[in-house]
Amino acid sequence: MYARPLFVVVGIFRGILPRFPAFRDSVWPGPPWQRGRLRLYAALMNDAIKLAPETSSQAASLPQLSVVVPTFNERDNVTVLYRRLDATLKNVSWEVIFVDDNSPDGTWDVVRALARKDSRVRCIRRIGRRGLSGACIEGILASSAPYAAVMDADLQHDETQLPKMVALLQSGEAELVVGSRYIEGYKTEGFNKQRAGASAFATEIARRSLKVEIADPMSGFFMIRRDRFEQLAPQLSTQGFKILLDVVATAEGKLRAVEIPYTFGARQHGESKLDSMVALDFLGLVLAKLTNDVISLRFILFAAVGGLGLLVHLSVLFIALELFKAPFPEAQATGAIVAMTSNFILNNFLTYRDQRLKGFGILRGLLLFYLVCSVGLLANVGVAFSVYDQEPIWWLAGAAGALMGVVWNYAMSGLFVWRKR
Ligand code: GDD
Ligand code: MN
Summarize pLDDT for 266-287 with one digit per residue, the tens.
888 888 877 667 777 788 888 8
151 touches 189 (CB < 8 A): no
Count CA atoms within 13 Å of residue 404 on its CB side: 20
The residue type of 381 is: V
145 touches 63 (CB < 8 A): yes
Q: What pLDDT is stored for residue 229 in this prediction?
A: 97
**For residues 102 and 214, which has the higher predicted lDDT (pLDDT)?**
102
Residue with the smallest CA separation from ligand 1 atom 15 is 152
The β-bridge partners of 282 are none
188 has a pLDDT exceeding 70? no
Predicted TM-score (pTM) of this structure? 0.74
- Closest ligand 1 atom, CA of 101? 1
Q: What pLDDT is stored for residue 300 in this prediction?
A: 87
Summarize pLDDT for 1-21 with one digit per residue, the tens.
444 444 443 444 444 444 444
CA-CA distance, 258 to 162, in Å (whole number)?
13
Measured from the alpha carbon of residue 279, the closest ligand is 1
Q: What pLDDT is stored for residue 6 in this prediction?
A: 44
CA-CA distance, 379 to 401, in Å (whole number)?
7
Residue ranges around ligand 1 (CB below 6 Å)? 70-72, 74, 99-101, 130-132, 135, 152-154, 156, 199, 218, 220, 241, 272-274
Query: Out of 71-85, 157-171, 324-338, which region has the weakest mean confidence (pLDDT)?
Result: 324-338
Calculate how far, in angstroms, residue 241's C-alpha sits from the geometric centre of ligand 1: 7
CA-CA distance, 85 to 49, in Å (whole number)?
34
Calculate how far, in angstroms, residue 133's C-alpha sits from the geometric centre of ligand 1: 9
Calculate how far, in angstroms, residue 345's C-alpha sits from the geometric centre of ligand 1: 27
Summarize pLDDT for 308-344 with one digit per residue, the tens.
999 999 999 999 999 999 999 899 999 999 999 999 9
Calculate how far, in angstroms, residue 419's C-alpha sits from the geometric centre of ligand 2: 29
Considering Cα of 317, then 323, then 325, then 326, what sign does the dihedral take?
Answer: negative
* 93-118: average pLDDT: 97
Measured from the alpha carbon of residue 354, the closest ligand is 1
55 has a pLDDT exceeding 90? no
Which domains, from first to last, does the chain contain? 3-29+296-417 (no CATH), 60-290 (3.90.550.10)
| Average of per-residue pLDDT values in the chain | 84
Q: What pLDDT is stored for residue 217 in this prediction?
A: 87
Residue with the smallest CA separation from ligand 1 atom 35 is 220
* 193-203: average pLDDT: 75
**For residues 36 and 198, which has the higher predicted lDDT (pLDDT)?**
198
Rounded to 5 degrees, φ, ψ at 69 are -125, 105
* 244-250: average pLDDT: 92
CA angle 292, 297, 298 (to 5 degrees): 125
38 has a pLDDT exceeding 50? no
